[in-house]
Structure 1
Amino acid sequence: MTRQHSIGSWWAIVISLFFATVARAHTIIVYPGWRGNNLYSNGTVEETDGLSVKYASNATGDRDYLYPFGMQWLYPCGGMPMSQNRTKWPVKGGAVSFQPGWFPGHKTALIYINLGIGTVPLNMSLPMLSPFQITGPTVEPYPGTFCMPQVPLPPNITVNVGDNATIQVVEIAKHGAALYNCVDITFAEPEDVEQVTRRNCFNSSHLTAQYIYTVDVDKSAAAHPQMISAGLFLIPLLLVGYFGNLF
């Protein structure tokens, strides 16, 4: 089976640098691949009457839809249809690697990795990991790759070799807007899957990750400012050590 738009991290950086000059660049799934190039934006918000996408009034071809914010803002897969060339991915779970920094304002972002079952999934409602936050070096676009060497299947989900599915990577900016990217996969035995290497799955030194915790907010919180401050100081230290064990 042909591997779907899979690229080494060095090639992804070259592509991203190119599109950063001609479009509003976003995210790229480096491994296991992506549906296709959706690093594309055109038109203006005025032309679409505030919509994320609109058919141009003088449309004559496939690229005549207007995406003033960029294609990747469109759920579920950044405006890209299902791919005919699927990527093989391990039947027990495997690596996912992506580049998060090709859009301004993503010094911090929340990351979701979801699974949709079937050739054309009805939705992407099966979380593969708990959401986590990434922190980059700047609010401006930046290079860098983030790798998770072993992303498991969602809880209570069993698949077989030959089954089709789609992996969705979601990056949520600090203002709540989300970027979507997908890779269409076919589950396979590990020995039949492209090898994971330090070229296609690695963690850049200037990117860090933190788990997300929830805390009840009530009136009692205001009475313990010192306790809260101490807790907020300790949590990042604990997270660094705990998250480091994953890699």
Structure 2
Amino acid sequence: MFSLAVVPVRLHRSGQLIVTSTRVFESCILHLCFFLYAYIPSLRDHRLPINCIMFVKAFLTVAALTHAVQAHFGIDYPPWRNDSFEDPYNQRIAPCAGINATGMYNRTEWPLDGGSLVLDLHHPWTYVFVNLGLGTEVTTFNYTLTPNFLNVTGNGTFCLPKIQLPETLMPTDGQNASIQVVTSGASGAALYNCADIVFRSSANALTAGEDQCVNTTKSSTVIQDQSTLAQTSGDSNTNTTAGGDKPSAAVHGSSVPLTAAFTVLLAMVVASGLL
């Protein structure tokens, strides 16, 4: 008998691997190892610990690559509510990745006529639109700050120095609000993040080209008409949605990357001589 400690990994937005312990994952791997040992004669020569460790390493490598393919996005300014790459949050959960508002405190001051937004984008191209809701605990983001979608080409830092508020929106000094950013990339899935702000008459927007408001050289933006986007999205993926809650079964991603991961894993196992 032997003891094998197993921990799954996933990719953080900055690229490093985050190690998180999951008993369910450990149990599944151990059961699979014992299954292989029981039904594959070549494993019955006291090499089970070594073979199992090789198997686990192969699985974790494929899992990390799978998460890299499913990279999402972050809000650098105003600071997002929390790191939605961390459990138990998920960017596929509307309206704010499952993260509650910060309450009355820890809010970024925003000018009364609109402020800056800095995003960390991970896809080769991204559709971006920004909404806003008034209040401390926002449930409805009913003000659209991007009447037309932004089509951002290139990954990296993307800064909007000034997002002008609609003429009908006239916030007061000290009024709380929340910003919702929704993106959609090649997968067609909508991703959500939110940041909490407080409007201040003394607040200033970021200066383009300075401090946080610096676009990477790969980032460029064009305005995308919403009717064109709807037609394009409909042609490429009939399941594309611009808003609304995603069903819980779809929260943790597509089955296509998962299938690919297990296919690659099986190939690695065969190549290593386990089967």
TM-score, length-scaled by structure 2 = 0.54
- The corresponding residue for 2:121 is 100
Inter-CA distance 194–157: structure 2 relative to 1 (3 Å threshold): closer
- The corresponding residue for 2:134 is 117
Residue by residue, what CA displacement relative to the aligned partner does 1:67-107 show, whole Å, maximum 9, x if unpaired? xxx61111011111111321111111111111111xxxx22
Q: SS of the counterpart of 1:146? A: strand
Tell me the amino acid that sits aligned with residue 75 of structure 2.
I
- The corresponding residue for 2:215 is 203
Among 76, 82, 104, the residue aligned to 1:30? 76
Residue 72 of structure 1 pairs with residue 91 of structure 2: yes
Among 12, 16, 33, the residue aligned to 2:13? 16
| Residues paired across the two proteins, number | 163
Inter-CA distance 195–173: structure 2 relative to 1 (3 Å threshold): closer
Contact 1:170-1:178 within 8 A present in 2 as well:
yes
Task: Give unpaired runs (5+ residues) of structure 2.
Answer: 1-11, 20-63, 229-275
- The corresponding residue for 1:156 is 168
Residue 19 of structure 1: how far off its partner (Å)? 4.9
Tell me the amino acid that sits aligned with residue 127 of structure 2.
L
| Cα distance between partner residues in 1 of 2:165 and 2:92 | 25
Identity %: 33
Look at both structures and tell me which one has the larger radius of gyration over its CA atoms: 2
Contact 1:115-1:154 within 8 A present in 2 as well:
no
Residue by residue, what CA displacement relative to the aligned partner does 1:175-211 show, whole Å, maximum 9, x if unpaired? 3211111111110123x45855722111111111111
Superposed counterparts of 1:39-78, under 5 Å: 39-40=85-86, 63=88, 71-78=90-97
Contact 2:115-2:204 within 8 A present in 1 as well:
no
Residue 127 of structure 1 pairs with residue 154 of structure 2: no
Among 185, 191, 213, the residue aligned to 1:179? 191
Tell me the amino acid that sits aligned with residue 114 of structure 1.
N
C-alpha RMSD of the superposition: 2.4
Q: SS of the counterpart of 2:91? A: helix
| Cα distance between partner residues in 1 of 2:72 and 2:17 | 9
Task: Give unpaired runs (5+ residues) of structure 1.
Answer: 1-14, 42-62, 64-69, 137-141, 216-247
Superposed counterparts of 1:229-240, under 5 Å: none
Inter-CA distance 20–149: structure 2 relative to 1 (3 Å threshold): farther
TM-score, length-scaled by structure 1 = 0.59
Among 98, 103, 110, the residue aligned to 1:89? 110
More helix by percentage: 2
Residue 123 of structure 1: how far off its partner (Å)? 1.0
Tell me the amino acid that sits aligned with residue 137 of structure 2.
V
| Cα distance between partner residues in 2 of 1:154 and 1:80 | 26
| Cα distance between partner residues in 2 of 1:89 and 1:204 | 24
| Cα distance between partner residues in 1 of 2:171 and 2:151 | 28
Q: SS of the counterpart of 2:192? A: strand
Inter-CA distance 149–115: structure 2 relative to 1 (3 Å threshold): same
Tell me the amino acid that sits aligned with residue 189 of structure 2.
A
Contact 2:206-2:213 within 8 A present in 1 as well:
no
Contact 2:161-2:205 within 8 A present in 1 as well:
no
